[in-house]
Structure 1
Amino acid sequence: MKLSAVFLCALVAVLLAAMSSVEAGELEVRYYANKCKSVENIVKWHVIKALKANRRTGAALVRLIFHDCFVRGCDGSVLLDKSYDNPHPEKEAPVNIGLAAFDLLEEIKAAVECRCPGVVSCSDILIYAARDAASFLSNGNVHFDVAAGRLEALDGFVSKADEVLEISVFSAYKYDRPGNYSREAFSTIPHEAQAELPDSTDDVEKLLTTFAKKNFTNEELVILTGAHSIGQGHCSSFTGRLTEPPSQIDPKYRDLLNFKCAQGDNPTVDNNVRDEDPDVVAEFLPDFVSQLRKTHDFLDHTFYNNTLDNIVNFHSDTALLNQMETLFHVHEYADNGTQWDEDFSDALVKLSKLPMPAGSKGEIRNKCNTINYSLHTSY
């Protein structure tokens, strides 16, 4: 009886998953050169194909790297789906609303597994994909080498009780040790992400504190926030902006946001006004029509010009104007897009190297959205 190629790939991956979990080692550029030399080409091919069909996917990938790495390191925990053992995954945190591109990562993972089964982690695939997306959206101006060798977290849905957003849920599971769970007792949704990630309503002091905890400087806060030149935000993320005074938001832009947010149940609005519907911009910001682009989601320094003009969506964006050092860097990058391209590339490298907690054990998952249950779950 003939076996399909897909079945054979899956069978080999399951057999390789029988290996024990291990601690993550040092990250290296060209880590897979002698293990899976085609991995970067595979990832890039799938990413470019997806972005040519929908550039929005690129913004989703860039956002994913931040939301994964900022919470206990780049461990792929944000990729985990809800399951019997994981009823409240990290991706359900309110601050993670609208995360996307998960299907694309699963597609890439499946392609890599067929070529190099059990070798490449989803967390590495995410970093490669985000790098390629940033490069594509910036016309190659953002680029960097990826140091790889990451493992996936075995316990991506477990958090410290004093760091989570307190939301009552039914008693469910007890955490014993990395990679071993039994159904006994959780009392809160484990959204460490809600506590660790910056929020769109944060003021500048809260933002500085949040980034300093991850050893990012005030300038790097400003640099990374520049990614808001692409993507979209849900209206629920900036409801306060809809009534802010003219000193905080351009009144005409505020009217545009109110118009857009009245169009449905928590709709999305482009983070960059230049990506908006030309007819809407012509009605509310006619002086801005000349700046509209035919190509949406172009990753560049225009976020800083928009911030200075008070035509940005989030309170956390305009908050950068309220502290001397962050204000200085907003002006710096508004005037020098080339410098921002270089500094943003460096900041993504630093972000991609945020480690899992010391002593953490990890694995290479068979699929990005679930741990290898057969090895790590007890009932």
Structure 2
Amino acid sequence: MANAVTCLLMAAVVLAPLFAGAAGGKLSTRFYDRKCPNLQSIVRLAMVEAVAAEPRMGASILRMFFHDCFVNGCDASILLDDTADLTGEKNAGPNANSVRGYEVIDAIKAQVEASCSATVSCADIVALAARDGVNLLGGPTWTVQLGRRDARNASQSAANSNLPSPGSSLATLITVFGNKGLSARDMTALSGAHTIGQARCTTFRDRIYNDANINGSFAALRQQTCPQASGTGGDGTLAPIDVTSPDVFDNYYYQNLMSKQGLFHSDQELFNGGSQDALVRRYSGNGAMFAADFAKAMVRMGGLMPSADTPTEVRLDCKKVN
């Protein structure tokens, strides 16, 4: 059965709706077919190397995409470095110690520029790299809508306020995702991104010492490397978000929630006597359903665009405006 689920997870999910673009244009699956025909193979090969070197990188790039899209749309604003005239998003609270992999995107961008200069946005590269990172770890694939442009500004304040925290309640999660036009089902599917990746002790300490709806053995396991008092040397210690299969994109995340083994308070809120319990049960027993819903939700999230008055361009260097 596990092999069957894995095969289903690997199946392609082809989705091709059009979304409104930042400047009145449209995102399209064929946006670069003529202008940069080798784009997708360049990104794929680079992600193959990155994930082979460090499986966690697939989760890191996926998180980068999520944190970018939730702040004024998918516009690569998260990639901008601080300057004298610009305060970027890299050092915002939700990003400073959890978003990583910028060097991977920079390396991909350099290869893309060598193949087709001043053509492909950094925002589109992140979208493709996130898709490929998921797929390389055993998850689904999907057709990425392309044609995004890169913002010429960033908003650290929006990054601090628009992203849900590890301590969020279910009501807060539903509201935050709803504000982006994403449904509660989208939110529950996208939360399944936590089937891969690792988290720092500071993000889950409160849960393992203070939450009541947690498996005792699981809490004790995490307490071994995450001391209750901050500043005692364990703050940066990493733990897998999915205790069962942290380097494989599968549906064990939901099975863990049913056993009260969600690492974050916000994770366990999805299965805590609330409105998403039934969906968590379905995903826990049907990996193919989760994979399909996750792919659809990723396409919808990838359609979040900056406002029409946002100044945009195709950056030549993802770290800075042209």
Would you say same fold, with TM above 0.5?
yes
Q: CA deviation at 1:84?
A: 2.3
Of 256, 259, 275, which residue of structure 1 is paired with 2:224?
259
Instruction: Please tell me whether the aligned partners of residues 23 and 361 of structure 1 are also in contact (alpha carbons under 8 angstroms).
Output: no
Q: CA deviation at 1:109?
A: 0.3
* Unmatched runs of 5 consecutive residues or more in structure 2: 1-21, 228-232
3-state SS of the aligned residue for 1:81?
coil
User: What letter matches 2:91 in structure 1?
Assistant: E
Of 291, 295, 306, which residue of structure 1 is paired with 2:256?
306
Of 211, 216, 232, which residue of structure 1 is paired with 2:182?
216
Q: CA deviation at 1:264?
A: 2.9
Q: Which residue of 1 aligns with 2:85?
A: 85
User: What letter matches 2:289 in structure 1?
Assistant: Q
Q: Which residue of 2 aligns with 1:331?
A: 281
Mapping 1:17-96, distance limit 5 Å: 23=23, 25-86=25-86, 88-96=87-95
User: What letter matches 1:103 in structure 2?
Assistant: E
* Unmatched runs of 5 consecutive residues or more in structure 1: 1-21, 158-189, 276-295, 373-379
| Deviation sequence 1:16-50 (CA, Å, 0-9, x none) | xxxxxx93621110110010110111111101111
Q: For residues 92 and 273 of structure 2, what CA distance do their matches in structure 1 show?
A: 29
- Which shows bigger deviation, 315-324 or 205-214? 315-324
Q: CA deviation at 1:234?
A: 1.1
Q: For residues 201 and 44 of structure 1, what CA distance do their matches in structure 2 show?
A: 34
Q: Which residue of 2 aligns with 1:15?
A: none
User: What letter matches 1:107 in structure 2?
Assistant: A
Of 234, 237, 240, which residue of structure 2 is paired with 1:270?
240
Matched, 1:348 2:298: yes
Mapping 1:1-379, distance limit 5 Å: 23=23, 25-86=25-86, 88-96=87-95, 97-138=97-138, 141-157=139-155, 190-245=156-211, 247-262=212-227, 264-275=234-245, 296-322=246-272, 324-372=274-322
User: What letter matches 2:213 in structure 1?
Assistant: Q
Q: For residues 152 and 81 of structure 2, what CA distance do their matches in structure 1 show?
A: 13
Q: CA deviation at 1:366?
A: 1.2
Instruction: Please tell me whether the aligned partners of residues 24 and 308 of structure 2 are also in contact (alpha carbons under 8 angstroms).
Output: no
For the pair shown, which has the larger CA radius of gyration, 1 or 2?
Answer: 1
**In the superposition, relative to structure 1, how do residues 146 and 116 fare at CA in structure 2: closer, same or farther (>3 Å)?**
same
| Deviation sequence 1:226-253 (CA, Å, 0-9, x none) | 11111011111122112235x4111111
| Deviation sequence 1:284-328 (CA, Å, 0-9, x none) | xxxxxxxxxxxx510111110001101121000111123542111
3-state SS of the aligned residue for 1:233?
strand
User: What letter matches 2:244 in structure 1?
Assistant: R
Q: For residues 172 and 244 of structure 2, what CA distance do their matches in structure 1 show?
A: 29
User: What letter matches 1:236 in structure 2?
Assistant: T
User: What letter matches 1:210 in structure 2?
Assistant: V
Q: Which residue of 2 aligns with 1:19?
A: none
3-state SS of the aligned residue for 2:316?
coil
Q: For residues 248 and 363 of structure 1, what CA distance do their matches in structure 2 show?
A: 47
- State percent identity of aligned pairs: 34
- TM, length-normalised to structure 2: 0.88
User: What letter matches 1:154 in structure 2?
Assistant: R
- TM, length-normalised to structure 1: 0.75
3-state SS of the aligned residue for 2:199?
strand
